[in-house]
Structure 1
Amino acid sequence: MNAIKSKVTRMVLSKKLELAMRHMRDDPTTGMHNVMALASTYFNSSFYDRNLLGKNAFSYMREYLQKPQSKWWKYARNLLQDTDLHVLKTFILNMAYEAGYRGNNLRHQLMVSQKCNIPWAILFDPTSMCNMNCTGCWATEYEHTMNLSNEDMNSLVRQGEAVGCHFYLLTGGEPLIRKNDIITLAKKHPTSEFHVFTNGTLITDAFCESAVTVGNLSFSLSVEGFEAANDERRGRGSFQRTMKAMEILRRHRLLFGISVCYTRLNYKDVTSDDFFDMVIRAGCKYACFFHYMPVGNDAATDLLLTPEERTYVYHRVREIRSEQCPKLFFTIDFQNDGELINGCIAGGRSYLHVNANGDIEPCVFIHYSDTNIHTGTLLQALQNPLCMAYHKCQPFNDNLLRPCPMLENPAILPKIIHESNAPSTDLQSPESLEHLCEKCQKYAKRWKSAAAVLWRDRGHETNHRSH
C-alpha cells in the first residue's frame, strides 16, 4: 500500500512540477513561487540532514529561491533555460523527493533500527577498463579486466532503493565503456538518479538522445586545468575531446559539470576565474573538487598540497559558491567541505564504494573490503566489521576540516583495518597499510596546525577528539 501511495504521489507531483516549471519560463517569479509551494506541500523538511550552515538544506534552498535578486534564484532560472524539461524535472523528483525526502526518511528509520550506517549515495564501477591512463587516478591500481554484470548492477540498485538510497554515482575505469548497459539500468530504475563520472571521450549524439529519453542521467567530466596541463596528465588531445563532449551534452540540453582532482601543480589554474568562465561558457553547471590522494605503491607524494595551498583552495571554492559571487555555478570540495557534512562520509554514513569485482569498500580511496556483493548483501556489508568500525568512530576528528582516517588521521585507518580484518581489494599491486599511511604522516602533521586556525576562524572549538 505504501508503494502504491508513493507511486501515485510521485505522479501527481510530477504533473504539478512540470506545470510550475513551464510557468517559470513565462513568469519566472510566480513560477518559482509555485515550485517552492510544491516543495513545502510534498516535502517534510524535517527529514533533510541538518548539515549546511546550521540549517537543513530545504530551509536554505527556500530562503534563497524566494528572492529574485539572489544568485541561486538566477541559477535556478538558468538551469531551467539550459536543461531539457524532462531531464530537469526527473532530476528534481529523484534528488529532492525520492532521495532527499522519502529515501532519507527510510534511511533514518533504518539507522536507528539496524544500528548501522545507511548510505545516501552509492558509488560503483560498472567496469575497471578505461581507454585512458591518467596520473594519480585511483582506478589505475585495479585489475583492468573486471566488470559488474547487468544483474549485479540491478541487484545493487534494488538493494539500495530498499534501504532508501536513490542516488548512484558511476565511476571506473571509464563507465561509458558500458554506456548501453547504463542506459538500460537507468531505464529500469526511474526513481533513482545516476550520475556518471567520465572522461567524456565516448559521449556521442546517439548516447545523449537515449540519456534525454530516460531522463535520470547526469554527468561530471574530468578536467585537470587548461589544455597543456590537462593533456600532460590525461594524454595529448584529451582536453579537446572533453570540450567536444561538453558541446554535445549542451546541444542535447543534458545536466553536466566537471570533476577536478587538484594537486600542487594545478590548484591555482582550476580555481581561477578564467578556468571557471571557460567551463561555464561550455555549459557546465557545477564542479566537484577532489583533493589528490596518494593511493597506490607508485603514488607521487610531491603532488600533495602544502597547508597554504590547501587553505587557498578552501577559501576559493567557498568564494565561488557564495551569494556574493556573480558566477552562476555551484562548487563542492569533498575534503574541505567536511565541516558542512560532519566529517568523513565513507563507510556508508553517507556513501560507500563497490568496485568492478563486487567488493564493497568504505571509500573509493580505501581498497579494503570484508564483503562482496556476490556472497553478501548490502545490509550485511553495512553491519559487518569494516563499516561498523567506521560507524563507531565517525567523525574521526572534532576538527571536521581533518575528516579522513587516512589523509589527515593516518593512525586511524590501520586500527580500523586490523580490527575488522578486512583484506586488500587491490588485485594488481597491493599496497601495505604501513606504506599507504606513512605517506600521509608528514602531510597530516602540517595540515593539523593550518586546520586548527581555519576551524577557530570559523567559530568552532575542538572539544574531545584530537587524533
Structure 2
Amino acid sequence: MTSRAVGRWLLAGPAGTAAFLLAAEILRGPRTRRYLFTRVERRLRERLADPPVPPPWRARDRERTLLALGALRSLDRTLARGTLSPHVLRAIVRLWGRAGLVPNRATRSGRRFARHHGAPPPWFLVLAPTQACNLRCPDCYAEAGADVHLPWPVLDRVLAEARERWDARLVVLSGGEPLLYRSEGHDVLDLVARHRRFLYLMFTNGTLITPDVAHRLGKLGNLTPAISVEGGEGTTDRRRGAGTFRQIEQAMAHLRAHGVPFGISVTVTRDNVDEVLSESFLDLFFEQQGAFYGFLFHYMPIGRRPNLDRMLTPAERVELWRRSWDVVERRGIFLFDFWNSGPVVQGCLAAGREGGYLYIDWNGDVFPCVFVPYRGANVIEAFARGESLDDVWEAPLFSRLRGWQRSYGYGAPAPTRDGDWLRPCPMRDHHVELQGLLQDLPASASPLLDPELSTALDAFGAQLATLTTPIWREHYLSDNGRSYSRRRSSRSLSR
C-alpha cells in the first residue's frame, strides 16, 4: 500500500473524523482562521500567477484556482458574520474534506466499479423526487406542478445503491419543489437524515423555508439550499409571482438565524442578462443577504411553453463568460456557470461520467442531464427486473454520450484543439451530433422537443463555434489570457 493510499485510508476512518473536527474548531477562532486563511490565500495567489502545469492546462488551472479563492473568501465572509453554526461547520469540513481528499474512484467501491465497467463511477446524482410545486413559473424547464412523487422505497434504494456501489458523495435535489415531496409519511428532509453520509445541494424556490424548516436544516448540517432568483425584487416577482421575493428574503433570514449556508441559483435569459452580475445584484445577494455561492443556468427552451426568444444568443453567452470570470476574480465570489465553466470540469458532466452525474425524476425516469430531455432508463422498471444502478449506468444512451465526451477531449492527456470545452453541451452546442447518437434508440424519444427547437439549437451551435473556437485556442490552449478583469481585486480576507 502506498503512502497516499494509507493517507486516504486514515482520512476515511476515525482518525480522519478527528482531524476534520479539529480543523473545524480551528476555523471557528478568528485569529487561527486569519492565520490559516492568509497563508492559504498566499499559496493560491502564487499558483494563480504561475500555475505548475503545462501550457494547455494553465488557463484551466487558473480558473480552478480562482474558484478556490472564491470559496475561501466566501467561507471567510460567512464565518466572520457568524452565520454558520458550529454543527454545520463541522459537517461541512468533514464531508467536503473527505469528498475532496478521498475521491470515490480511489475507494473500494470505486475501484470495484471500474474493474467491472471499465470506467470510474459517477461522483453525484441529481434527483427530482417530486413534480409538485407551489409556483407556476411560465416557462419552467421541469413543467412542474403535478402532484407526482417518486415512491419512498425507490428513492431510499437509489441513495443506498449510490453510496454502496459508487461511493457517490453529493446528491443534488431539484424538482418541482423538493420541500413538497411526500411519500409514505416521509418528506425530503427525512431522506437527508436517513442518508447522512452524503452532501446535499437543494435547488428550491425558497418560499417554503419556514423557521421550522431552517431549524431542521441546521440540525442536519449536511444540506445547503440554492434559492432561485431572477434578479432583484421586480424581476423575480414578474416571473415567479408577486410577493415571492419578500418570501425569499424571509427564507434567507431564517437560514442565517439557524447557521445554514445558502446560495442562489439564477436562470439567465435575454430579459435579465444585463441585471445578473451587475454590482447592485452582487451587493444584494452576496454582501447584504450573505449568499455563500451562486449558480448560473442559461435558459433552455424545454418544458412548459418554451420560448426561443428568451434563450441567450451566442454573443450574449460569450459576454457572460467574460463577466462571470471577472466577478470571480475581482470580487472573490464562488460563481459557477453550468455551461461557461466547462473548461473547469473538462467538458460535459452528463451521462454518469467520472466526476459527473445521472438525473432521475419523479417518475423514476433517468436522463443523462437535467437539460437533455431524452430518457435512457427507468429505475423503477430496472429494480423490478432485478437490476441495479450499475445496469442503469450501462444504458445505451448513456454509454454513447460518454463515448462522445471522450471523443471530444475528456480524459485526454491534454486539451485538444478541436475539443472546445467552452461548447461542452451535446444538447445546446452540438445538437446535430446528439441527434445522431439518438438514432435507433426509440426509448429516448421525447415529446418535449419539437422541430423548431432542433433547428434553433443547430443554428445556435454553429454560430457559437465561430465565437468560442478562437477563445479556446488562444486563451486556453496557448495560455494568452491572464486576467478577465481590468482591475485587480483589492478585497482581502477579514482582519
Between the aligned partners of 2:155 and 2:100, the Cα distance in structure 1 is: 18
Say whether residues 1:332 and 2:353 are aligned partners. no
Q: Which has the higher contact order (CA 8 A, sep 6+)?
A: 2
Letter in 2 for 1:77: D
Say whether residues 1:97 and 2:108 are aligned partners. no
Between the aligned partners of 1:118 and 1:171, the Cα distance in structure 2 is: 21
Between the aligned partners of 1:98 and 1:342, the Cα distance in structure 2 is: 19
Partner of 2:444, secondary structure, is coil
Say whether residues 1:387 and 2:398 are aligned partners. yes
Relative to structure 1, the CA distance from residue 237 to residue 72 in structure 2 (aligned partners, 3 Å threshold; closer, same or farther) is closer
Between the aligned partners of 1:409 and 1:420, the Cα distance in structure 2 is: 18
Contact 2:367 2:374 in 1 (8 A): yes
Q: How does 1:132-147 map to 2 (within 5 A)?
A: 132-140=135-143, 144-147=146-149
Letter in 2 for 1:382: W
Per the normalisation by structure 1, the TM-score is 0.84
Say whether residues 1:445 and 2:462 are aligned partners. yes
Q: How does 1:15-414 map to 2 (within 5 A)?
A: 15-22=21-28, 24-32=29-37, 53-55=59-61, 60=65, 73-81=72-80, 82-98=83-99, 101-106=102-107, 109=111, 110-111=113-114, 113-116=116-119, 118-140=121-143, 144-162=146-164, 163-178=166-181, 181-280=187-286, 281-296=288-303, 298-322=305-329, 325=330, 327-349=331-353, 350-376=356-382, 377-394=388-405, 396=408, 398-414=419-435
Per the normalisation by structure 2, the TM-score is 0.80
Contact 2:226 2:265 in 1 (8 A): yes
Contact 1:94 1:193 in 2 (8 A): yes
Letter in 2 for 1:457: E
271-280 vs 98-107, which deviates more? 98-107
Say whether residues 1:415 and 2:420 are aligned partners. no
1:59-88 Cα offsets, whole Å, 9 max, x none, are 949xx98xxxx7765433223333112212
Q: How far did 1:102 drift?
A: 4.3
Relative to structure 1, the CA distance from residue 30 to residue 229 in structure 2 (aligned partners, 3 Å threshold; closer, same or farther) is closer
Between the aligned partners of 1:5 and 1:175, the Cα distance in structure 2 is: 32
Relative to structure 1, the CA distance from residue 14 to residue 341 in structure 2 (aligned partners, 3 Å threshold; closer, same or farther) is closer
Say whether residues 1:456 and 2:462 are aligned partners. no
Relative to structure 1, the CA distance from residue 365 to residue 78 in structure 2 (aligned partners, 3 Å threshold; closer, same or farther) is same
Q: How far did 1:105 drift?
A: 2.0
Q: How far did 1:294 drift?
A: 1.6
Between the aligned partners of 1:269 and 1:5, the Cα distance in structure 2 is: 44
Structure 2 unaligned runs (5+)?
Answer: 1-7, 42-55, 383-387, 409-417, 479-495
1:400-438 Cα offsets, whole Å, 9 max, x none, are 1111112111112222222444334x6xxx234645422
Q: How far did 1:132 drift?
A: 0.8
1:350-393 Cα offsets, whole Å, 9 max, x none, are 01100001111101112222321112221111112011011111
RMSD: 2.9
Between the aligned partners of 1:183 and 1:379, the Cα distance in structure 2 is: 26
Between the aligned partners of 1:73 and 1:385, the Cα distance in structure 2 is: 40
Aligned twin of 1:42: none
Between the aligned partners of 1:52 and 1:105, the Cα distance in structure 2 is: 25
Identical-residue share of aligned pairs (%): 27
Q: How far did 1:211 drift?
A: 0.8
Q: How far did 1:439 drift?
A: 2.7
Structure 1 unaligned runs (5+)?
Answer: 37-49, 462-467
Letter in 1 for 2:320: V
Relative to structure 1, the CA distance from residue 34 to residue 191 in structure 2 (aligned partners, 3 Å threshold; closer, same or farther) is farther
1:14-69 Cα offsets, whole Å, 9 max, x none, are 432233223x3343244558999xxxxxxxxxxxxx98855499x949xx98xxxx
Q: How far did 1:337 drift?
A: 0.9
Q: How far did 1:195 drift?
A: 0.9
Between the aligned partners of 1:5 and 1:284, the Cα distance in structure 2 is: 30
Letter in 2 for 1:311: V
Between the aligned partners of 1:71 and 1:438, the Cα distance in structure 2 is: 38
Relative to structure 1, the CA distance from residue 177 to residue 55 in structure 2 (aligned partners, 3 Å threshold; closer, same or farther) is same
Letter in 2 for 1:437: S
The number of equivalent residue pairs is 431
Between the aligned partners of 2:71 and 2:176, the Cα distance in structure 1 is: 34
87-96 vs 5-14, which deviates more? 5-14
Letter in 2 for 1:19: E
